[in-house]
């Protein structure tokens, strides 16, 4: 299945206008010695691991062959989404020196609007022109800076430059618009794969919620909109790709590869089940498995922060909750929170709080936000178990329920690790050298 995933990704590159990034990506994906690094760095390797985990032991070879191409479409979309997500790095908490933050914010809002228009029936040419019109906003953008592992990205692009006179690593990094164009068409390709099927009712609205929700996050500071903790959770659920992705998985399995006549009548139950799974995945992504599942870990974190806050020798740069967490928070407990603090990414437990003064009242608010997230996680996990059992009964087949449960388990394991762990910690962080891998 891996080779078919790589082939689908390479085919998706043809959706990009010709340019430095496309030429680099085609080279990197096909060159021995570079392909493993690039396909890990752009998220395809981890998405393929997740896909293989979902299907293991559930399908015969003919079914797997049919699923491989359909999952290739899905994973090509997820790779593009990862690149677009990286353009949002820093926008939840822009540092003073990030002079391109405002332009990048406007760029992504424009991209989201173009995607929404395309999903509503707009033409391919319209979407392409809408993205190309954003060129002035993209002038300061760089995939080297807008990446969780920019140094590794730069090293690969540097090798490309050395082997191809006339090419420039910096031009590769700055060529962000073709990726956005491909992202839109990969989004539409996923919908087209299930057009007319019951699962389209899951996939299309799930994607619309994704891009509309991202715009709400990107514009809330411009409009001075303060989202409550519940609103952040709701928006975070919308922006999570779990509903559209797992809805697509369910559809291609039960409507295309192994048709199940009960699927259409179960669509409302499937949607409710996916909402529970999506909430779990959003909270795991933002907070990490230890904080969501272990009261003792939450208590120890808050106790340590309280002690540090009351210490007269606390460093003066720990003047905000953000710095208090980075300076005093245990690294293991902050497996995911730390990622979003360091990279200025949106987070349901941090947004609206991270830059407030580090005071007992602010620490109490953070503790309440964390407790709310843990309660919602625990409730959603209990509900999901019941929903999966009911779904298996209604479908007369446990395959879809098993795949949803495996997706949650995969992320529970992954988000228990520090994000820098390129084996199990994150989708788009480079692998450690072979000698250092577990």
175 with 270, same domain: the answer is no
Number of domains present in the structure of the chain: 2
Please give the pLDDT value at position 356. 94
Residue 214 lies in a domain: no
288 with 403, same domain: the answer is yes
393 with 290, same domain: the answer is yes
Which domain covers residue 283, as residue numbers? 263-438
Which pTM was predicted?
0.93
Residue in 401, 379, 400, 377 with CA at minimum distance from that of residue 389: 401
**What angle, rounded to 10 degrees, do the helices at 200-219 and 177-193 form?**
150
Residue in 248, 281, 241, 253 with CA at minimum distance from that of residue 115: 241
Report d(CA 263, CA 141) in Å as an integer: 44
177, 193, 209: which is the final residue of a domain? 193
193, 221, 250: which is the final residue of a domain? 193
164, 193, 222: which is the final residue of a domain? 193
Residue 224 lies in a domain: no
Residue 250 lies in a domain: no
Please give the pLDDT value at position 432. 52
Which residues, given as ranges, of the chain have pLDDT below 50? Answer: 433-438
Please give the pLDDT value at position 96. 78
Compute the C-alpha angle 143/232/310, nearest 5°.
Answer: 90
Beta carbons within 10 angstroms of residue 302's beta carbon: 18
Residue 148 lies in a domain: yes
Residue 123 lies in a domain: yes
Kindly report, residue by residue over 168-188, the tens digit of the pLDDT.
999 999 999 999 999 999 999
DSSP-assigned beta bridge partners for residue 357: 320
183 with 279, same domain: the answer is no
386 with 299, same domain: the answer is yes
Residue 346 lies in a domain: yes
Residue 246 lies in a domain: no
Please give the pLDDT value at position 417. 84
Residue 392 lies in a domain: yes
Please give the pLDDT value at position 418. 79
187 with 269, same domain: the answer is no
Beta carbons within 10 angstroms of residue 383's beta carbon: 17
Report d(CA 111, CA 113) in Å as an integer: 5
Distance of CA 240 to the CA centre of its chain: 7
176 with 283, same domain: the answer is no
280 with 369, same domain: the answer is yes
175 with 269, same domain: the answer is no
21 with 166, same domain: the answer is yes
Please give the pLDDT value at position 435. 32
154 with 296, same domain: the answer is no
Kindly report, residue by residue over 368-396, the tens digit of the pLDDT.
999 999 999 999 999 999 999 999 999 99
């Amino acid at each position: 299945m891996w080779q078919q995933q790589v082939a689908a990704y390479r085919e998706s590159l043809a959706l990009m206008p010709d340019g430095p990034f496309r030429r680099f990506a085609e080279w990197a994906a096909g060159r021995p010695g570079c392909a493993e690094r690039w396909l890990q760095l752009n998220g395809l390797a981890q998405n393929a691991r997740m896909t293989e985990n979902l299907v293991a032991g559930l399908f015969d070879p003919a079914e797997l062959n049919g699923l491989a191409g359909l999952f290739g479409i899905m994973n090509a979309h997820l790779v593009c989404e990862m690149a677009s997500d990286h353009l949002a790095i820093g926008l939840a908490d822009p540092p003073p020196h990030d002079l391109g933050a405002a332009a990048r914010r406007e760029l992504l809002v424009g991209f989201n609007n173009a995607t929404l228009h395309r999903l509503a029936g707009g033409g391919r040419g319209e979407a392409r022109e809408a993205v190309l019109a954003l060129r002035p906003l993209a002038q300061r953008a760089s995939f080297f800076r807008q990446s969780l592992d920019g140094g590794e990205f730069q090293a690969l692009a540097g090798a490309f430059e050395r082997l191809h006179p006339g090419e420039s690593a910096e031009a590769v990094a700055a060529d962000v618009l073709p990726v956005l164009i491909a992202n839109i068409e990969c989004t539409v390709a996923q919908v087209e794969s299930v057009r007319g099927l019951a699962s389209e009712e899951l996939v299309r609205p799930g994607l619309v919620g994704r891009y509309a929700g991202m715009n709400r996050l990107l514009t809330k500071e411009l409009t001075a909109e303060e989202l409550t903790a519940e609103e952040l959770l709701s928006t975070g659920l919308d922006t999570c790709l779990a509903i559209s992705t797992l809805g697509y998985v369910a559809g291609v399995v039960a409507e295309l590869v192994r048709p199940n006549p009960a699927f259409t009548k179960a669509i409302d139950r499937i949607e409710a089940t996916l909402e529970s799974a999506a909430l779990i995945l959003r909270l795991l992504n933002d907070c990490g498995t230890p904080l969501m599942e272990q009261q003792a870990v939450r208590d120890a974190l808050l106790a340590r922060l309280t002690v540090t806050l009351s210490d007269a020798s606390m460093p003066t740069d720990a003047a905000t909750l953000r710095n208090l967490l980075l300076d005093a928070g245990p690294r293991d407990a902050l497996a995911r929170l730390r990622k979003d603090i360091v990279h200025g990414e949106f987070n349901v437990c941090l947004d609206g709080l991270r830059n407030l003064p580090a005071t007992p009242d602010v620490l109490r608010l953070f503790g309440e936000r964390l407790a709310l997230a843990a309660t919602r996680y625990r409730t959603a996990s209990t509900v999901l178990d019941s929903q999966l059992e009911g779904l298996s009964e209604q479908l007369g087949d446990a395959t879809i329920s098993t795949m949803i449960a495996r997706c949650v388990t995969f992320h529970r394991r992954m988000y228990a690790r520090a994000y820098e762990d390129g084996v199990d910690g994150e989708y788009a962080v480079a692998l450690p050298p072979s000698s250092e891998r577990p």
